[in-house]
């Protein structure tokens, strides 16, 4: 496409007062030979936008640079359709709002941002959306329990063909065997009849294709084109589906490990599920019952986590006893009652019904004449307590996700790692062969786990997204939860699956780069089969052939650019994001000579958290160091080390990477990006030292969106330390 | 603006200043208060501790039953009475079983209450029905420079939480004082308990509570304390000297009903200001504002 | 709060009796968070905070509960009631406990005498006369208390000087006869309800 470039400089919001706008125009027109450069006092207003539209229609402009506010605002105003490239130079939030007006350094900063924007658009093309052949919009739900049935129903009700796969011969799962269920509707105080029969009927009536006694032998392909092989009754069925909801649930924790609570020793110490069966069968005759919470859960010896549902389930079961006999004595021993959200009302209801709640740890359970006695530390009394004559003791034995059962996949490529032993190693995701999806993915057959078998997701921003695009975990396989949360989860995951098939049909990315139509393209001629891209992709988007050539699956891709950052040969690029593009931006920045005593610091800032934080620093008028030049990146994972090279060669005194927190409780929107960037960085420190460049000049830091107030100090401190090191010795060798 | 008025027992004894200033301020602001005929004691916070809520609320309900035919809002000047009447009224409105039973008892006196009235405090009526602007316009001698600690106390804002102002840190009486031209001081203890009716059986409690309140008011730089509550006024006023004796302090902080301060700002007659009832003398602190004997 | 380290037992007989009081059933909603304790103006001199008292009820410690000064030190300031996240109307619960304690012969606290004196005033006159309440209070409490009262006489004299202690009682409620009938009927209904 022949580019006709127009630059529009907005002088509103104080930009015109703080900067020499004519000089900025000169940069565009004289230095960069832009075809058009105009200024407007209110560019985002009706008239301002009309000027741009007029130039597009009548002057043939197809590439627009808007120099004004941040790209995070007015994105809709400055959208001129799919055929016009739009790039923004942020003169407001990151220049005039955080640097003094009428100042030489501020002016230099603004001019550099105009240069960077012009170089950027020169290196970018319009993305062409990836189109899937024989795209399927069918949603497949794996698991026919409460969550799976709800998800299937939601998906079918939204108008999508839905397939449900259940391994048992009957739908319903764990909830299906219950006597009654916890309340799912206001006022959240009353036991409800089991909803499973109604749900099964609704699912059937909604036209969901149900496979019972079925397992998944193989899942190949990707979003919009998953080819699933289902084993059923000895035969196999093929289904092509667009997205998958994984709702395989959990299993109760193995009570045989709870001998310290009398399980296995005394007949009348039973599990929550056994009690449920007993009541459902009408065999519950006990007049004095104790429920013991956290039997296994929140216990470092057993399940370190809270199983989330047991408190409300025990409250429900306590009410069974009271329903049968209001005079019955029911005790609940607990650590903390975690009746989240609306279930607080349910807890209160049980208290009103006369269930006695005792905050304390059970220290011993003994039996005499068939009756059980409990010793405990009563925390609210500060003493030990004794209670006896229990007919039954019910252990709330927690849950383990079905994804946790199976063999752990061993880290392969040991010998390769040994060859490069001096390099810090990129650790692949942990995957447990739980035999649920059997994915044909290079990185392993199931979802990467976070901890305890629960699948990894960015649970703050998008909890249902797993690390496999198009596969959404819901219910207790995703995280321990009660029924109300599971219901919400099911609907949420079903809607994410719908979003996914619709986005895939348009060739767009899913969260967090929703709407992005670019995807990585590989120049295979120069590929050295080093496997870095296939190993490092956090989403398993790239398979491998026998010769270790990468086989990209664009619909699995989240467009973070981690592969682009990983590739030592730099053969991976997007239409509008590439290694040369950023490299040229670095080179476009003017670095004054040493004698000018104007150091330069390059910041690569993650677009997800660091960029908004930098904008917020501006919005709050926090002033920071004027030597800083900021380049946004899709994710620090896309950081290619050649950019550091470029920056050092250009004479930058320091480079700072601003990305999301990694490690435990990571915040990275692409799971591993910021961690990978740091690993890459650690690899070059030696090289830098060898070149006579202090490796301290290049460093990484974590910024979350709330850290905007810390940004000035962060940059100033880095600048001070660089000042101590002195100027970059490469400065005048350009 | 016409209202039924429930004065309460204290207005006939320890809190005559309250009654006098309320009546005078009301008439200055065109508020007509019609005393509920032959009203009886609300039981305060005490009676239900002897005979239970039900009997106390029936007794209190008698007042509401007498007032109901007029259909006017019932205005209460005493915080403790307000607590009793407001809670009783709420129960008559919301608890049908209670209403039926209580009316069985009231029928013995030929009475019945359907729960149709609103029970309100005089302070709230001044603020919401009259308004700060109108109050400010009525001011003849602005209390410029007078630093006032607004002691709202407990029951005014917590009888029915959020019915009127914030139950943790009420501010509306401060705004009213500002409408009079005074400065409301920082006063963290403004809604803390004064010890209430423990005066007689456990004076220590009152002395202890009062000490904390004086400390807090003094730390904010207040010259006077104002309150809408007769119990608070009595405890802080009558026991201030005792606090000084027992704690070695030298508080000399006049404690006034907010209506007394309004009467002064409105330049009403000495009888309306009713300052002669104040035990800690307010004349010195208020001399420049026209406080008169 | 328990001085010895003997294990406690849970005996619900007493608790059920307390839970059946007018506002007693709300006690069951207590989740032992302690908001009442930190809100209380007189917590420091209470034997047990309200939360602890509710716990003792659950344990069946009748004597400890009814001998406690907790309810008698309650000033009805409503702070805890307004703050209780479980909606326990603590002030009203305390009223019930006072009434229950008096009825069961646990009325040694001066406050109990004061309460009884106050009620006699109201029941006899329809209104409260401070002078009358005080007189009746000292009659119930006996001479020791009068000595204490003499310590307070300067306060009283001050009040008298400022016209705050009228020596004559206010007029009785005119419809006193009717009021008495109403109270009698209410008492009868209350007894019936309790059953």
Best residue in A343, A355, A383, A384 to probe C by mutation, most C CBs within 10 Å? A383
Segment C100-103 long-range contacts (CB within 8 Å, at least 24 positions apart): C100/C18, C100/C21, C100/C66, C101/C66, C101/C71, C102/B49, C102/B50
**Are C185 and B104 in contact (CB < 8 Å)?**
yes
| Mean pLDDT score of chain C | 88
| Mean pLDDT score of chain A | 94
Contact call for residues A589 and A112 (beta carbons, < 8 A): yes
Confidence of residue B200 (pLDDT cuts 50, 70, 90): confident
Q: Give the count of domains, chain B.
A: 2
Alpha-carbon distance A400 to A307, whole Å? 8
pLDDT at A414: 47
Chains C and A, touching by 3 or more CB pairs within 8 angstroms? yes
Establish if C5 belongs to a structural domain: no
Alpha-carbon distance A295 to A271, whole Å? 9
Confidence of residue C5 (pLDDT cuts 50, 70, 90): low
Contact call for residues A673 and A638 (beta carbons, < 8 A): yes
Region B186-203: what's the mean pLDDT?
88
Q: What is the CATH number of the domain that holds B51?
A: 1.20.1050.140
Residues with Cβ within 8 Å of A702's Cβ and at least 6 positions away in sequence, in order, are A658, A659, A660, A661, A662, A667, A674
> In this structure, what token pair is assigned to residue A548?
């270790």
Domain boundary among C103, C131, C163: C103
Same domain for B179 and B88: no
pLDDT beyond 80 at C147: no
Domain that holds residue B214: 140-289
pLDDT beyond 90 at C145: no
Same domain for C18 and C90: yes
pLDDT beyond 70 at A416: no
Q: Assess C62–B contact: CB distance below 8 Å, yes or no.
A: no
Best residue in B10, B43, B52 to probe C by mutation, most C CBs within 10 Å? B52
Same domain for C171 and C117: yes
Same domain for C73 and C121: no
Same domain for B110 and B160: no
Establish if C160 belongs to a structural domain: yes
Chains A and B, touching by 3 or more CB pairs within 8 angstroms? no
Question: pLDDT digits over B69-105, tens only?
Answer: 999 999 999 999 999 999 999 999 999 999 999 999 9
pLDDT beyond 50 at A26: yes
Q: Tell me which chains share at least 3 CB pairs under 8 Å with chain A.
A: C
Q: For residue A352, what is the nearest residue in chain C, using CA coordinates?
A: C28
> In this structure, what token pair is assigned to residue B149?
């600690």
pLDDT at A533: 95
Confidence of residue A396 (pLDDT cuts 50, 70, 90): very high
> In this structure, what token pair is assigned to residue B12?
């006939």
Confidence of residue A89 (pLDDT cuts 50, 70, 90): very high
Same domain for B72 and B37: yes
Q: What percent of chain B has pLDDT over 70?
A: 100
Same domain for B228 and B108: no
Question: To the nearest whole angstrom, how far is the Cα of C107 from the nearest Cα of chain A?
Answer: 26
Give strand ranges (E) for chain B: 2-6, 32-35, 74-76, 119-121, 147-150, 183-184, 224-227, 255-257
pLDDT at A489: 95
Same domain for B251 and B145: yes
**Residue B77: how many CA atoms within 13 Å on its side-chain side?**
31
Establish if B132 belongs to a structural domain: no
Same domain for B160 and B116: no
Nearest to A380 among C7, C29, C32 (CB): C32
Same domain for B75 and B34: yes
pLDDT at B164: 85
pLDDT beyond 70 at A421: no
Domain that holds residue C88: 12-103
Establish if B217 belongs to a structural domain: yes
Nearest to B196 among C76, C173, C183 (CB): C76
For chain A, list the domains and their CATH numbers.
1-122 (3.40.50), 139-251+402-506 (3.50.50.60), 259-397 (3.50.50.60), 521-560 (no CATH), 578-734 (3.40.50)
Establish if C60 belongs to a structural domain: yes
**Are A381 and C2 in contact (CB < 8 Å)?**
yes
Question: pLDDT digits over A481-502, tens only?
Answer: 999 999 999 999 999 999 999 9
Alpha-carbon distance B276 to B16, whole Å? 10
Q: What is the CATH number of the domain that holds C77?
A: 1.10.1060.10
Establish if C4 belongs to a structural domain: no
**Are C126 and B167 in contact (CB < 8 Å)?**
no
Same domain for C174 and C145: yes
Region B3-17: what's the mean pLDDT?
92
Question: To the nearest whole angstrom, how far is the Cα of A673 from the nearest Cα of chain C?
Answer: 43
Confidence of residue A544 (pLDDT cuts 50, 70, 90): very high
Same domain for C81 and C25: yes
Nearest to B12 among C72, C91, C170 (CB): C170
pLDDT beyond 50 at A136: yes
Question: pLDDT digits over A670-689, tens only?
Answer: 999 999 999 999 888 888 88
Q: What is the CATH number of the domain that holds B147?
A: 3.40.50.11810
Same domain for C156 and C135: yes
Same domain for C167 and C117: yes
Same domain for C99 and C18: yes
Establish if B174 belongs to a structural domain: yes
Residues with Cβ within 8 Å of B98's Cβ and at least 6 positions away in sequence, in order, are B54, B57, B91, B92
Establish if B128 belongs to a structural domain: no
Establish if B58 belongs to a structural domain: yes
Between positions 128 and 147 of C, the ones with CB within 8 A of B are 128-130, 133-134, 137
Same domain for C148 and C123: yes
- Residues A688, A693, A696, A697: what is their CA dihedral angle, to the nearest 10 degrees? -100
Establish if C1 belongs to a structural domain: no
Establish if B182 belongs to a structural domain: yes
Region A130-150: what's the mean pLDDT?
97
Alpha-carbon distance B243 to B247, whole Å? 6
pLDDT at A724: 93
Nearest to B62 among C82, C163, C179 (CB): C179
Q: Assess B51–C contact: CB distance below 8 Å, yes or no.
A: yes
Domain boundary among C79, C103, C127: C103
Chain A residues inside the 8 Å CB shell of C86 = 348
Establish if B115 belongs to a structural domain: yes
Question: To the nearest whole angstrom, how far is the Cα of B137 from the nearest Cα of chain C?
Answer: 33
Nearest to A387 among C2, C9, C31 (CB): C9
Same domain for B155 and B114: no
Name the percent of chain C in helix, strand, coil, to the closest 5: 65, 0, 35
Q: Give the count of domains, chain C.
A: 2
pLDDT at C2: 46
Domain boundary among C103, C126, C159: C103
Question: pLDDT digits over A316-369, tens only?
Answer: 999 999 999 999 999 999 999 999 999 999 999 999 999 999 999 999 999 998
Establish if B130 belongs to a structural domain: no
Same domain for B110 and B60: yes
Same domain for B93 and B169: no
**Are A352 and C28 in contact (CB < 8 Å)?**
yes
Same domain for C188 and C134: yes
Establish if C66 belongs to a structural domain: yes
C-alpha angle C23-C28-C29 in degrees, rounded to nearest 5: 95
Question: pLDDT digits over B226-282, tens only?
Answer: 999 999 999 999 999 999 999 999 999 999 999 999 999 999 999 999 999 999 999
Number of residues that make up chain B? 293
Same domain for C178 and C118: yes
Nearest to C102 among B44, B50, B102 (CB): B50
- ipTM exceeding 0.85, yes/no: yes
Same domain for C122 and C93: no
Q: For residue C5, what is the nearest residue in chain A, using CA coordinates?
A: A383
Establish if C174 belongs to a structural domain: yes
Confidence of residue C1 (pLDDT cuts 50, 70, 90): very low
Question: To the nearest whole angstrom, how far is the Cα of C151 from the nearest Cα of chain B?
Answer: 10
**Are C182 and B239 in contact (CB < 8 Å)?**
no
Contact call for residues B146 and B286 (beta carbons, < 8 A): yes
Chain C residues inside the 8 Å CB shell of A384 = 5, 7-8
Confidence of residue A425 (pLDDT cuts 50, 70, 90): low
**Are C159 and B238 in contact (CB < 8 Å)?**
yes
Positive or negative CA dihedral for B15, B17, B23, B26? negative
Nearest to C2 among A354, A383, A386 (CB): A383
């Amino acid at each position: 496409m022949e580019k006709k470039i127009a630059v529009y400089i907005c002088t509103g919001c104080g930009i015109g007062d703080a900067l020499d706008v004519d000089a900025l125009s000169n940069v565009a027109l004289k230095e960069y030979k832009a075809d058009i450069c105009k200024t407007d006092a209110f560019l985002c207003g009706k008239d301002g936008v009309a000027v741009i539209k007029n130039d597009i229609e009548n002057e043939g402009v197809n590439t627009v640079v808007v120099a004004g506010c941040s790209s995070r605002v007015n994105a809709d105003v400055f959208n001129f359709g799919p055929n016009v490239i739009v790039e923004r130079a942020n003169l407001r939030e990151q220049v005039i709002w955080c640097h003094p007006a009428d100042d030489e350094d501020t002016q230099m900063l603004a001019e550099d941002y105009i240069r960077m924007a012009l170089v950027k658009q020169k290196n970018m093309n319009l993305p062409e959306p990836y189109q899937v052949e024989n795209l399927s919009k069918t949603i497949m739900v794996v698991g026919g329990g409460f969550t799976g049935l709800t998800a299937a129903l939601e998906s079918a009700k939204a108008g999508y063909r839905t397939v449900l796969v259940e391994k048992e011969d009957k739908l319903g799962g764990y909830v299906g065997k219950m006597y009654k269920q916890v309340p799912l509707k206001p006022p959240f105080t009353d036991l409800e009849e089991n909803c499973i029969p109604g749900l099964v009927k609704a699912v059937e009536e909604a036209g969901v294709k149900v496979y019972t006694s079925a397992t998944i032998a193989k899942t190949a392909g990707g979003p919009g084109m998953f080819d699933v092989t289902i084993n059923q009754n000895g035969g196999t069925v093929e289904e092509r589906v667009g997205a998958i909801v994984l709702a395989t649930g959990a299993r109760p924790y193995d009570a045989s490990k709870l001998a310290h609570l009398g399980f296995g020793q005394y007949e009348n110490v039973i599990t929550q599920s056994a009690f449920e069966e007993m009541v459902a069968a009408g065999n519950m005759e006990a007049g004095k019952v104790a429920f013991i919470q956290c039997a296994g859960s929140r216990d470092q010896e057993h399940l370190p986590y809270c199983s989330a549902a047991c408190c409300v389930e025990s409250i429900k079961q306590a009410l069974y006893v009271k329903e049968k006999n209001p005079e019955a004595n029911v005790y609940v021993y607990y650590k903390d009652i975690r009746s989240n959200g609306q279930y607080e009302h349910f807890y209160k209801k049980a208290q009103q019904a006369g269930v006695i709640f005792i905050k304390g740890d059970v220290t011993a359970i003994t039996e005499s004449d068939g009756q059980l006695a409990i010793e405990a530390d009563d925390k609210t009394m500060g003493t030990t307590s004794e209670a006896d004559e229990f007919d039954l003791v019910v252990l709330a034995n927690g849950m383990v996700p079905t994804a946790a059962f199976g063999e752990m996949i061993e880290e392969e490529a040991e010998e390769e790692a040994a060859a490069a032993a001096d390099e810090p190693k990129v650790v692949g995701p942990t995957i447990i062969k739980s035999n649920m999806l059997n994915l044909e993915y290079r990185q392993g057959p199931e979802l990467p786990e976070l901890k305890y078998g629960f699948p990894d997701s960015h649970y703050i921003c998008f909890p249902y997204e797993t690390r496999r695009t198009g596969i959404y975990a819901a219910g207790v396989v995703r995280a321990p939860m009660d029924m109300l949360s599971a219901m919400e989860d099911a609907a949420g995951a079903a809607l994410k699956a719908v979003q996914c098939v619709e986005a895939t049909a348009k060739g767009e990315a899913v969260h967090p780069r929703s709407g992005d139509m670019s995807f990585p393209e590989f120049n295979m001629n120069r590929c050295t089969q080093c496997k870095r891209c296939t190993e490092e992709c956090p989403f398993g988007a790239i398979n491998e052939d026998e010769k270790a050539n990468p086989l990209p699956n664009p619909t699995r891709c989240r467009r973070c650019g981690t592969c682009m950052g990983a590739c030592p040969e730099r053969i991976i690029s997007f239409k509008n994001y590439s290694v040369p593009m950023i490299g040229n931006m670095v080179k476009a920045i003017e670095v004054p000579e040493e004698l000018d005593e104007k150091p330069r610091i390059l910041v690569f800032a993650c677009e997800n958290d660091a960029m908004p934080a930098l904008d917020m620093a501006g919005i709050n008028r926090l002033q920071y160091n004027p030597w800083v030049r900021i380049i946004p990146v899709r994710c620090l994972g896309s950081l290619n080390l050649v950019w550091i090279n470029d920056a050092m060669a250009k004479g930058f005194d320091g480079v700072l990477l601003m990305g999301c927190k990694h490690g435990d409780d990571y915040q990275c929107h692409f799971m591993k990006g910021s961690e990978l960037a740091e690993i890459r960085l650690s690899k070059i420190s030696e090289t830098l030292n060898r070149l006579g460049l202090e490796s301290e000049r290049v460093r990484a830091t974590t910024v979350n969106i709330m850290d905007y107030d810390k940004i000035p100090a962060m940059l100033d401190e880095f600048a001070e330390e660089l000042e101590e090191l002195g100027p970059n010795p490469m400065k005048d060798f350009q | 603006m016409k209202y039924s008025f429930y004065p309460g027992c204290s207005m006939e004894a320890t809190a005559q200043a309250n009654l006098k200033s309320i009546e005078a301020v009301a008439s200055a602001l065109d508020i007509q208060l019609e005393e509920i005929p032959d009203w009886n004691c609300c039981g305060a916070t005490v009676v239900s501790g002897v005979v239970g809520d039900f009997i106390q609320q029936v007794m209190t309900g008698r007042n509401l039953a007498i007032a109901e035919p007029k259909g006017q809002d019932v205005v209460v000047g005493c915080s403790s009475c307000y607590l009793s009447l407001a809670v009783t009224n709420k129960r008559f409105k919301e608890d049908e079983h209670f209403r039926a039973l209580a009316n069985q008892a009231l029928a013995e006196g030929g009475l019945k209450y359907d729960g149709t009235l609103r029970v309100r405090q005089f302070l709230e009526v001044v603020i919401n029905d009259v308004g700060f602007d109108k109050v400010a316009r009525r001011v003849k001698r602005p209390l410029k420079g007078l630093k006032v600690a607004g002691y709202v106390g407990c029951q005014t804002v917590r009888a029915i939480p959020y019915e009127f102002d914030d139950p943790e840190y009420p501010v509306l009486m401060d705004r009213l004082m500002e409408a009079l031209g005074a400065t409301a001081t920082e006063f963290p203890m403004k809604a803390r308990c004064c010890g209430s009716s423990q005066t007689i059986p456990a004076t220590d409690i009152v002395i202890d509570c009062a000490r904390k309140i004086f400390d807090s008011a003094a730390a904010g730089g207040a010259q006077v304390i104002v309150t809408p509550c007769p119990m608070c006024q009595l405890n802080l006023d009558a026991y201030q000297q005792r606090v000084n004796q027992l704690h070695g302090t030298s508080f000399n902080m006049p404690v006034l009903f907010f209506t007394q301060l309004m009467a002064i700002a409105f330049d009403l007659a000495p009888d309306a200001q009713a300052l002669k009832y104040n035990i800690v003398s307010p004349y010195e602190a208020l001399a420049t504002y026209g406080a008169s004997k | 709060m328990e001085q010895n380290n003997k294990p406690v037992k849970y005996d619900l007989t007493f608790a059920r009796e307390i839970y059946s009081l007018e506002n007693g059933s709300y006690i069951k909603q207590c989740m032992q968070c302690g908001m009442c304790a930190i809100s209380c103006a007189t917590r420091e001199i209470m034997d047990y905070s309200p939360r602890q008292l509710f716990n003792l009820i659950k344990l069946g410690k009748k004597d400890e509960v009814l001998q406690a000064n907790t309810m008698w030190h309650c000033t009805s300031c409503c702070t805890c009631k307004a703050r209780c996240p479980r909606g326990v109307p603590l002030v009203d619960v305390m009223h019930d406990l006072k009434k229950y304690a008096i009825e069961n012969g646990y009325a040694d606290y001066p406050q109990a005498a004061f309460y009884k004196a106050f009620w006699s005033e109201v029941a006899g006159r329809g209104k409260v006369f401070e002078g009358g309440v005080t007189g009746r209070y000292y009659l119930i409490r006996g001479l020791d208390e009068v000595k204490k009262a003499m310590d307070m006489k300067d306060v009283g004299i001050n009040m008298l000087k400022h016209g705050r202690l009228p020596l004559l009682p206010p007029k009785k409620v005119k419809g006193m006869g009717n009021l008495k009938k109403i109270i009698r009927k209410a008492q009868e209904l209350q007894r019936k309800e309790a059953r």
